[in-house]
Structures are given as structure tokens and as C-alpha cells.
């Protein structure tokens, strides 16, 4: 506490509880999570802390495109359109960029987009990036894989009496 590893307003994690520090006293620290729950922690019992507010955050979004897609073309389109469409988003420090292919799956090619954000703002930015990717995919008719559902239809014998 006296070394000021965290301060009021910082987002920290202590013993599986993550939230904003709302009060630091001589004996206890109060942390409020995103649900509004407040945890009061004995300062003497704090052994380790994760301070999420010390540095910027990184938004990470993965999405799939269909196998016949030209990966290089799709990456170029996504990068260009992200730069154009998300240039004025608050809390976004760098333009979202496709960093490449992260997996090859049976149903498609997985790509990853990352962007630097203000500390702890990556959750909202990730939602904005997903929405923008969906719009770009629609606008450029980029094929995405869909889960296939299987329906089994069995033809039974007709009853002679009915």
C-alpha cells in the first residue's frame, strides 16, 4: 500500500477478484467489480496484485474466412477498411490490423486482428472491431464458414392397417 503499486481509480486483480479501487485505507482496500459488487480486502492479506491500469491494453479479435478465399486480398481489404472506418473511435490508440493467420481449421482460415487501446478499454473496442469486420465481410462479399447442421430423416414402413 505504501509503495503505491495501485491507487484509487486503478483496475486491479486480487485473489480472483477484479475491479476498480474505490478506497484505500490504513487497514483495508475496497474494490468494485463491473457488477457493482464491492470486495473489502485486508491490506495485510494482499500478497499479490495485478494492476491492469499501468499500461495500455490490447484488443484481440479472431474471425474465420472460408477456405477458397484469397487470404492476402482479405487481409488487405480488412486492414484498409479498418483504418478508414475506425479512425475516430475513442480509446483506440492504434488502428486495428490483421496480424495474420492463426489457425487452419476444417471449416475455414482463422485470422487475428489486434489494436492498442487505453487501459481496460479493450472489451468495448473488441466489440466495435467485430461489428466492423461483419460489415466489411458483407460489403465485400467475403465468404465465411457456417456450421453445418445435419438432419437425419428415416423413412419407416407404412402400417398395413392404417
What whole-number distance in Å separates Cα of residue 102 and Cα of residue 47? 36
Residues of the chain below pLDDT 70? 1-2, 147-154, 156-162
In this predicted structure, what is the pLDDT of residue 50?
94
Q: Report CA-CA distances (Å) from 158 to 19, 151, 153, 155.
A: 65, 21, 15, 9
In this predicted structure, what is the pLDDT of residue 67?
92
Instruction: Give the DSSP letter of residue 26.
Output: S
Q: Where are the beta strands (DSSP E) in 15-150?
A: 17-24, 28-32, 38-42, 50-51, 57-65, 97-105, 108-117
What whole-number distance in Å separates Cα of residue 160 and Cα of residue 154? 18
In this predicted structure, what is the pLDDT of residue 146?
81
User: Can you give the pTM of this predicted structure?
Assistant: 0.78
Residue 63 in contact with residue 113, Cβ under 8 Å? yes
Q: Report CA-CA distances (Å) from 31 to 1, 12, 28, 54, 83.
A: 14, 8, 10, 17, 37
Helix H or strand E segment including 131? helix 122-139
Q: What is the pLDDT of residues 59-97, one digit of tens each?
A: 999 999 999 899 999 999 999 999 999 999 999 999 999
Q: Which three cell numbers stand for residue 151?
A: 438432419
Amino acid at each position: 500500500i505504501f509503495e503505491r503499486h495501485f491507487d484509487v481509480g486503478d483496475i486491479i486483480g486480487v485473489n480472483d477478484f477484479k475491479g476498480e479501487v474505490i478506497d484505500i485505507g490504513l487497514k483495508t482496500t475496497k474494490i468494485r467489480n463491473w457488477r457493482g459488487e464491492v470486495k473489502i480486502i485486508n491490506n495485510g492479506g494482499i500478497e499479490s496484485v495485478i494492476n491492469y491500469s499501468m499500461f495500455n491494453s490490447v484488443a484481440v479479435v479472431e474471425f474465420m474466412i472460408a477456405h477458397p478465399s484469397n487470404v492476402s486480398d482479405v487481409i488487405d481489404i480488412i486492414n484498409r477498411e479498418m483504418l478508414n472506418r475506425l479512425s475516430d473511435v475513442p480509446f483506440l490508440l492504434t488502428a486495428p490490423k490483421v496480424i495474420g493467420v492463426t489457425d487452419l481449421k476444417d471449416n475455414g482460415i482463422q485470422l487475428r486482428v489486434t489494436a492498442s487501446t487505453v487501459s481496460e478499454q479493450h472489451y468495448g473496442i473488441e466489440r466495435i472491431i467485430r461489428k466492423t469486420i461483419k460489415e466489411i465481410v458483407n460489403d465485400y462479399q467475403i465468404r465465411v464458414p457456417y456450421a453445418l447442421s445435419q438432419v437425419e430423416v428415416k423413412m419407416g414402413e407404412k402400417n398395413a392397417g392404417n
